[in-house]
Amino acid sequence: MSADFLYGIEVVINGLMAGVLYALVALGFVLIFKASGIFNYAQGVMALFAALTLVGIMEGQVPFSHLINAVFGTEIHHFGWHVPALLAIAMTLLVMVAFAWMVQHFVFRHLVGQEPIILFMATIGLAYFLEGVGDLMWGSDIKTLALGLPQGGSLWVEEATQGLGGDDFYGFFLDKLDMVATVVAIVLVGALIAFAQYTKQGRAMRAVADDHQAALSVGISLNYIWVLVWSLAGLVALVAGVMWGAKSGVQFSLSLIALKALPVLMLGGFTSIPGAIVGGLIIGVGEKLFEYLIGPMVGGATENWFAYVLALIFLVFRPQGLFGEKIIERV
């Protein structure tokens, strides 16, 4: 096999791994949108907030320490202990569930039956509010997430695949962190699908997504389901935040990764879980391949815009996305 072809395969594999992460973020959007018709602009900030909280808890940072110090003239920053990673993750999850409850209780419970644009505006407000709270709670400096996840390229894969090509092929270069992220994302997606298909709560979730009145009439509490859905979105945000945070540090630009989910959603459809997965993979592979094949001809940096152009083309020919439901109004 020629080295060029093998490098092409390497690009595709890397694209798939990036795509799984895109899919994960997109999934957070789909969950909330399906169940409540809310396009959650705050999904990216939720990922940031979850990562900040995780680091803060692990490092034993005192939440709101700047505020406390400013008000009481004290000088406290740390509790002086370190929390083990697994315990910290569980605690962060609790924080995200509490956040979900508060969002439902203080914001969206009062907006039931409002226009979609009003709900959307509310999530924009929520995004900036949460960003502010994150800053106030944990500070705005860039933090490193030391979860002990493997870093760097995998020597094992490189050596195992070295023999495939000729002399100018040095084996596949795969990032270890990407590989871990891919496995975690696949497990999470599988668990979410099993949850939606086979549990009572999952059934209720799908029922609420379809028809509110009918759901009420079979004894489903809408509030409960919405808190549940926001909690699941919080879980997805936590995983996405951890993976991206481990890669590039926990910083406020993390909230922008959510924007990458937009083309994924346009491709896959806003209401489809398989759509989010396939859309994520297509975008991931598409942008890496495009960069590899066409990038050198146009001066590179195509990854910044390729996904959006692809999404635009899709919008023209298939506005409901690959798997979205086409809504036909009967006249």
Alpha carbons 176 and 151: distance in angstroms, whole number: 6
Among 142, 156, 211, 313, binds another protein (CB under 8 A): 211
CB of 203 to another protein, least distance (A): 6
Residue 27 or 126: the one with the smaller Cβ distance to another protein is: 27
Residue 34 or 260: the one with the smaller Cβ distance to another protein is: 34
Q: Which of 4, 56, 5, 48 is nearest to 25 (CA)?
A: 48
Window 266 to 325, contacts with another protein (CB under 8 A): 325
Residue 215 or 227: the one with the smaller Cβ distance to another protein is: 215
| 94 binds another protein, rule: CB under 8 A | no
| 163 binds another protein, rule: CB under 8 A | no
Question: Which residues sit opposite 301 in a β-bridge?
Answer: none
**Quick one: which segment of 1-9, 18-26, 73-81, 187-195 binds another protein (CB under 8 A)?**
187-195
| 218 binds another protein, rule: CB under 8 A | yes
| 214 binds another protein, rule: CB under 8 A | yes
| 200 binds another protein, rule: CB under 8 A | yes
CB of 299 to another protein, least distance (A): 46
CB of 205 to another protein, least distance (A): 11
| 210 binds another protein, rule: CB under 8 A | yes
- Residues with Cβ within 8 Å of residue 296, at least 6 apart in sequence: none
Residue 41 or 323: the one with the smaller Cβ distance to another protein is: 323
| 327 binds another protein, rule: CB under 8 A | no
Angle at 286 between CA 159 and CA 157, to 5 degrees: 10
Among 20, 88, 220, 232, binds another protein (CB under 8 A): 220
Any long-range contacts for 218-222 (C-beta under 8 Å, 24+ apart)?
222/112
CB of 72 to another protein, least distance (A): 43
| 166 binds another protein, rule: CB under 8 A | no
Question: Which residues sit opposite 143 in a β-bridge?
Answer: 250
| 199 binds another protein, rule: CB under 8 A | yes
CB of 202 to another protein, least distance (A): 8
| 222 binds another protein, rule: CB under 8 A | yes
**Quick one: which segment of 82-90, 141-149, 198-206, 244-252 binds another protein (CB under 8 A)?**
198-206
Q: What radius of gyration, in Å, describes the C-alpha atoms of the chain?
A: 21
| 221 binds another protein, rule: CB under 8 A | yes
| 48 binds another protein, rule: CB under 8 A | no
| 204 binds another protein, rule: CB under 8 A | yes
Residues engaged in binding another protein (CB under 8 A): 191, 194-195, 198-201, 203-204, 206-207, 209-211, 213-222, 325
